[in-house]
Amino acid sequence: MPTIDCLTLDVFTDRPLSGNQLAVVPDATGLSAALMQKLANEFSLSETTFVMPPDDGQSEFMVRIFTPTQELPMAGHPTIGTAYALAHLGRLSPDQHSTLFQLGIGPTRVTLDWHDTQLGAAWMTQPAAEFGACPGRLDGLAAALRLSAADLNVPALPVQVVSTGVPFLYVPCQSRSVVDAAELDRQKLVAWCEQAGLGELPVYLFSLAPESDDALTYSRMFAPVLGVAEDPATGGASGPLMAYLVHYGMASLPTHDVCVNVQGVKMGRPSRILMRMSDSEAAKGTVMVGGQSVVICEGRLYL
């Protein structure tokens, strides 16, 4: 009976049973895309990654990312978590300051911050953000979230589509309590998106309202279109969020400034996603998303 090794991790956290869960198959050589999709559905986590030799002549690893229903060209928590899995297995070493993953969007730099022999944080460099439509009529969107239009009335911050590889609909909210109160009605969301001339999108709600923690933003993400009802930590959305906040003057531009995005609290899986602008002049306008991860278990699949 063929066997396949696997790991699971909690990502964007430094403690077990919080953050965003991830399954990693560290040697997926020879697996078909159809089998990868079935395995992702079997794990039934928001994402599963499959690591194999690259074929682009540049990268150190090819990493394919699957939700339970489809493959994604990029995502943040799978990238960060896979780096931790490879470090745990000794395939990334403390003398490496970075690695290059071949993702669906192309070669992607992952910077590695080591604490002695332990990986202290991994940072994913994302492409420069692309800013899309700003739908103007918010009554229907508010109804789809079971909120009022006033709950979404945040001065100087529009509802907008932004992407660094996967587009998200960014929805600023008046307070953290509004973010927590949201409940997605998918049928109404699809109808509103159609009226706005958009295809169905993952929805990223956030608030800048300060509280006693150090977070700049407090967020939730709904993505039934990706096969994920709600996600406790979304690195692929946090990069565009940082670019959006800088664009609208809500976050400082200096590259050494690290902003914290807290997500997953409502789900009981609090996550800390770190965001900053790239420190490379050659990569001006790109964003970096980082954080920690912990290995939860190692196992074997019997197929």
Comparing CA positions, the residue from 8, 10, 31 lying closest to residue 20 is 10
Residue 223 has a pLDDT of: 97
Comparing CA positions, the residue from 230, 245, 232, 298 lying closest to residue 275 is 245
| pLDDT band of 171, cuts 50, 70, 90 | very high
The one catalytic residue in 47, 60, 130, 230 is 47
At 98, list the tokens.
Answer: 């970075």
Minimum mean pLDDT among 1-5, 63-67, 207-211: which range? 1-5
Q: Please enumerate in sequence order all residues whose Cβ is within 8 A of that of 182, keeping only pairs 6 or more positions apart, or say none.
A: 145, 146, 147, 173, 205, 220, 222
Domain ranges of the chain: 3-127+290-302, 130-279
Same fold flag, 3-127+290-302 and 130-279: yes
Percentage of the residues of the chain whose pLDDT score is greater than 70: 96
Residue 132 has a pLDDT of: 97
- Tell me: domain 130-279, CATH 1.10.3720.10, correct? no
Give the tens place of pLDDT for each residue, 78-126. Answer: 999 999 999 999 999 999 999 999 999 999 999 999 999 999 999 999 9
Average pLDDT, the chain: 95
What is the CATH code for 3-127+290-302? 3.10.310.10
| pLDDT band of 167, cuts 50, 70, 90 | very high
Give the pTM.
0.95
Percentage of the residues of the chain whose pLDDT score is greater than 90: 91
Query: Catalytic annotation on 47?
Result: yes
